[in-house]
Amino acid sequence: MTSTILIVDDERMGRETIESILDGQGYNLEMAENGLQAIEKARLFQPDVILLDVMMPGMTGFEVCAEIRHDLLTAEIPIIFLTALDDKEAKLQGLQIGGDDYIIKPYDRHELRARLSNITHLNRYRKLLSEREKVEQEHLNLLSAYDATIAGWSHAMELRDEETDGHAQRVTELTLVLARAMGMDDDQLVHMRRGALLHDMGKLGVPDSILQKAGALTPEEWKIMRQHPQYAYDMLSAIEYLQPALEIPYCHHEKWDGTGYPRGLQGEQIPLSARIFAIADVWDALTSDRPYRLAWDEEMALNYLHAQSGRHFDPLVVELFCKVMGYSVNSEQ
């Protein structure tokens, strides 16, 4: 990557001298004859370094430096003053006004090359860090947009399936509480959150006549309803960033004893995230009002979880749930 150097000197001989010193050093050189031209070219070319003479008519180098530092577009460009002013006060003024280095004329060509090389390397590193931070921020913004989209999909699903209003958010929060207690790390929690919010996404493939039916479903209707985890997998598996989150939408209706659906997985064949979610899902369903029944009290719901331990649910996850929620592990079944 070629560095661009802006040389600012009102004297042609001064510009040519620096040009000869830097010839063959691999720089792209731009020239400015006065302060206004320097400011204009700094904005236009965004040089990696400005070599700036101090004693110029119209605008001094110090005034040019001040203007460059006050412009957001050019404020970070390194500036090296080149001047015959060798008194301490002038040097201090140049550094205070925003100069990065100060070289007294007549200067040694090797010293000028070395100082310029150091500045360009530092500036390149700063730009690299800035670009990396920009990329990381854009990545975070993209992830935030992804998660906002997921939340929107989840809310849209709840608007369609009116009996589950707020269910996805509640069950997601409970799932994350249990997952943290299980010792899952932050990356796993991110995927579990997404999967929990999208757990019923497959119901978009279920006709309204079945999803919103007031009465009991027929065997044929149940056959269609039980396909919603497969529908979720088919809809979401092509989305690369959601692939690690598919365990819950695809497997949350599998049962510990192998009688679940859609694949009849058994025991630890069922992903742990889905085993954790299954308890949170059923708990919230039992303790929430539904059109066809009132909410169960916590004792009834807890007894049901114990009764289904080793059948529907992983016994260790049932035990974890009771511990986290502050319920007795030895409650009557």
Token readout for 301 is: 């719901």
pLDDT of residue 333: 39
Q: How confident is the model at residue 273 (pLDDT cuts 50, 70, 90)?
A: very high
Q: How confident is the model at residue 274 (pLDDT cuts 50, 70, 90)?
A: very high
- Give strand pairing partners of 101: 80
Q: What is the pTM of this model?
A: 0.61
pLDDT of residue 306: 94
- Residues 284-308 have pLDDT tens digits of 999 987 766 788 999 999 999 999 9
- Residues 118-136 have pLDDT tens digits of 888 887 777 777 778 888 8
- Higher confidence at residue 260 or residue 167? 260
Q: Tell whether the model's pLDDT for residue 93 goes beyond 80.
A: yes
Percent of the residues in the chain that have a pLDDT greater than 90, as a whole number: 61
CATH of domain 161-325: 1.10.3210.10
Distance in Å from the first CA to the final CA of the chain: 72
Where is average pLDDT lowest: 72-76, 142-146, 179-183, 258-262?
142-146
Q: Tell whether the model's pLDDT for residue 263 goes beyond 70.
A: yes
CATH of domain 4-132: 3.40.50.2300
> 43-62 burial, b for 16+ CB within 10 Å, e for fewer?
eebebbbbbbbbbbeebbbb
**Average predicted confidence (pLDDT) for the chain:** 89
- Higher confidence at residue 265 or residue 3? 265
Mean per-residue pLDDT for 96-109?
88
**Within 10 A of 184 (CB to CB), how many other CB atoms are there?**
17
Q: Tell whether the model's pLDDT for residue 104 goes beyond 70.
A: yes
Instruction: Break the chain into its structural domains and give their ranges.
Output: 4-132, 161-325
Distance CA 83, CA 89 (A): 13
- Higher confidence at residue 153 or residue 62? 62
